[in-house]
């Protein structure tokens, strides 16, 4: 699982029939706390095609909110079956990249150990997994009242998955997704225009509100090449097999994708199998947010994971280190049904596009599409032109 920056989702959690659906990314919490706390996150999977990292941050209270300070300069290792040690690479922003020679395999034991630059040392509990079931089918259904909003409903494609639970209780599933949408607007400026420095090639929005006596205005700028917007799930979607042991899992809701545009979109759906202890952590996260009215309020106890300070076991350490078995599949959403039913597309900006107009031949400039978490200029595998 690739982690990024500060992501906050404040919403009510729901738990039904052994399932967990909490509107927050699994390990990025945002609650008021009075002490600084170390947050350690990482999911290593048996899928060798995904870059995998461990993230170390410090959550620092700031009034009713927290901000997160990335912790770099640590020595991070994973120990396999109490024998082999693998060193992770310190890349940036408190992220440590898994070495290519570390292969995640079923039934082996994995333990995270790391030492901060100030000498503090931490260790996780051992984690292991059993192989997840294959994904049998992923499919969509167009729903006019798909996503509830304060002003009504947004039409959306609901995405469902079918799989087969393995006999024997103790299987725990986590589902996630990633959506690619092709876009043509790569920069927007409010009350100003976009300029690119000829020497550095770096672009910026320059405020011109003092020159134009009008209400707020926007200028949008087209991409200088191909660009894809990337969306991620913002909820925990997890389930134990307590009530389905050995039976098919049919029609599990995975996502609700708005009609951003009439062009097709590519959805990557991921199914993971996690350990019972990891599932209990997700369940605890949900129960605490339920009992306290939502994640916007302070949970009654710190959400402590499976990492501890070797020399100070009373120190609270948040987040969780886990290993998982992973299956993934791609789904092309062509949106022909939305076109046939003349459902309006909502766009990516939440408003109409407003391109800069100028009599100068040098304007407007084109904006670059950086390769980052939420955008990429590289054509996704499986994309249909």
**Mean pLDDT for back-to-back runs of 10 residues, the chain (385 residues):** 29 35 38 72 88 90 77 96 96 93 93 96 95 96 92 94 92 94 96 91 88 80 97 88 93 96 96 92 70 40 81 90 94 96 94 92 94 95 93
pTM summary value = 0.82
Domain contains 28: yes
Res 151: pLDDT: 86
Domain contains 5: no
Res 34: pLDDT: 64
Domain contains 75: yes
Res 214: pLDDT: 66
Res 64: pLDDT: 64
Q: Please give the distance of CA 189 from its chain centroid, rounded to a whole number.
A: 26
Residue pLDDT, tens place only, 19-29: 554 433 333 43
Residue pLDDT, tens place only, 3-53: 332 222 222 222 333 455 443 333 343 333 567 889 999 999 998 887 899
Residue pair 125/320 in contact by the 8 Å Cβ criterion = no
Domain contains 236: yes
Domain contains 224: no
φ, ψ of residue 373 to 5 degrees: the values are -60, -40
Domain contains 207: no
Res 234: pLDDT: 81
Domain of residue 19, residue span? 13-182+229-333
Res 63: pLDDT: 67
Res 288: pLDDT: 65
3-state secondary structure the chain: CCCCCCCCCCCCEEEECCEEEECCCCCCCCCCCCCCEEEEEEEEECCCCCCCEEEEEEEEEECCEEEEEECCCCEEEEEECCCEEEECEECCCCEEECCCCCCCCCCCCEEEEEECCCCCEEEECCECCCCCCCEEEEEEEEEEEEEEECCEEEEEEEEEEEEECCCCCCCEEEEEEEEEEECCEEEEEECEEEEECCCCCCEEEEECCCCCCCCCCEEEEEECCCCEEEEECCCEEEEECCCCCCCEEEEEEEEEEECCCCCCEEEEEEEEECCHHHHHHHHHHHHHHHHCCCCCCCCCCCCECCEEECCCCCCCEEEEEEEEEEEEEEEEECCHHHHHCCCCCCCCCCCCCCECCCCCCCCCCCECCCCCCCEECCCCCCCCC
Q: How many domains are contained in the chain?
A: 1
Domain contains 212: no
Domain contains 149: yes
């Amino acid at each position: 699982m690739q982690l990024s920056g500060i992501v906050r989702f404040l919403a009510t959690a729901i738990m039904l029939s052994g399932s967990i659906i909490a509107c927050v990314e699994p390990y990025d919490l945002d609650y008021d706390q009075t002490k600084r706390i170390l947050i350690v996150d990482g999911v290593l999977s048996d899928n060798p095609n995904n870059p995998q990292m461990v993230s170390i941050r410090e959550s620092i209270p700031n009034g009713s909110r927290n901000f997160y300070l990335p912790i770099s300069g640590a020595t991070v290792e994973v120990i396999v079956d109490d024998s082999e040690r693998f060193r992770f690479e310190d890349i940036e922003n408190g992220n440590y990249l898994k070495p290519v020679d570390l292969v995640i395999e079923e039934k082996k034991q994995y333990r995270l150990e790391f030492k901060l630059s100030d000498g503090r040392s931490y260790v996780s509990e051992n984690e292991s997994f059993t192989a997840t079931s294959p994904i049998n089918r992923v499919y969509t259904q167009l729903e006019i009242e798909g996503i509830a909003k304060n002003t009504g409903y947004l039409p959306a494609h609901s995405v469902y998955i079918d799989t087969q639970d393995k006999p024997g209780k103790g299987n725990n599933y986590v589902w996630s997704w990633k959506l690619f949408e092709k876009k043509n607007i790569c920069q927007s400026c409010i009350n100003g225009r976009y300029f690119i420095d000829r020497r550095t090639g770096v672009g910026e929005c320059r405020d011109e509100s003092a020159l134009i006596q009008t209400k707020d205005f926007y200028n949008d700028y087209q991409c200088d090449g191909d660009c894809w917007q990337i969306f991620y799930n913002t909820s925990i979607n997890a389930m134990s097999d307590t009530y389905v042991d050995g039976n098919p899992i049919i029609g599990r809701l995975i996502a609700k994708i708005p009609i951003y545009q009439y062009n097709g979109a590519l959805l990557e759906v991921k199914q993971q199998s996690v350990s019972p202890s990891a599932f209990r952590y997700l369940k605890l996260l949900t129960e605490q947010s339920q009992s306290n009215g939502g994640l916007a309020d302070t949970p009654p106890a710190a959400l402590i994971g499976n990492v501890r300070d070797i020399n100070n076991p009373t120190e609270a350490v948040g987040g969780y280190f886990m290993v998982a078995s992973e299956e993934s599949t791609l789904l092309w959403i062509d949106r022909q049904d939305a076109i046939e039913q003349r459902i309006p597309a909502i766009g990516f900006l939440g408003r109409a596009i407003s391109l800069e107009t100028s009599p100068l031949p040098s304007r407007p400039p084109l904006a670059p599409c950086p390769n980052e978490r939420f955008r990429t200029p590289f054509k996704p595998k499986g994309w249909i032109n």
